[in-house]
Amino acid sequence: DQQVKQNSPSLSVQEGRISILNCDYTNSMFDYFLWYKKYPAEGPTFLISISSIKDKNEDGRFTVFLNKSAKHLSLHIVPSQPGDSAVYFCAASALVTGGGNKLTFGTGTQLKVEL
Amino acid sequence: KAGVTQTPRYLIKTRGQQVTLSCSPISGHRSVSWYQQTPGQGLQFLFEYFSETQRNKGNFPGRFSGRQFSNSRSEMNVSTLELGDSALYLCASSLTGGGLGYTFGSGTRLTVV
Which parts of chain A have pLDDT scores under 50?
none
Residue B75 bridge partners (DSSP): B22, B67
Please list the rounded mean pLDDT of every run of 10 residues in chain B (113 residues). 90 98 95 90 90 91 97 97 96 78 92 97
pLDDT score, position A12: 98
**For residue B54, what pLDDT is reported?**
92
Q: Give kind and range of the element (H or E) at residue B31.
A: strand B31-38
- DSSP annotation of B15 reads T
Interface of B with A in 18-47 (CB under 8 A): 31, 33, 35, 40-45
Q: Is B84 helix (H, G, I), strand (E, B) or coil?
A: helix
Q: Distance, in angstroms, between A115 CA and closest chain B CA?
A: 27
Q: Which residue of B has its CA nearest to A33?
A: B99
pLDDT at B41: 80
- Is A45 within 8 Å of chain B by CB? yes
Q: Report pLDDT for A16.
A: 97
* The pLDDT of residue B1: 59
Q: Is B73 exposed, middle or buried (0-12, 13-18, 19+ CB in 10 A)?
A: middle
Q: In chain A, which residue's Cα lies nearest the Cα of B42?
A: A107
Determine the pLDDT at residue A96: 76
**Measured CA angle at A100 (ends B31, A71), to 5 deg:** 125
Please give the pLDDT value at position B98.
59
Closest approach of chain B CAs to the CA of A94, in angstroms?
7
In this predicted structure, what is the pLDDT of residue B99?
59
| Separation CA A74–CA A2 (nearest Å) | 18
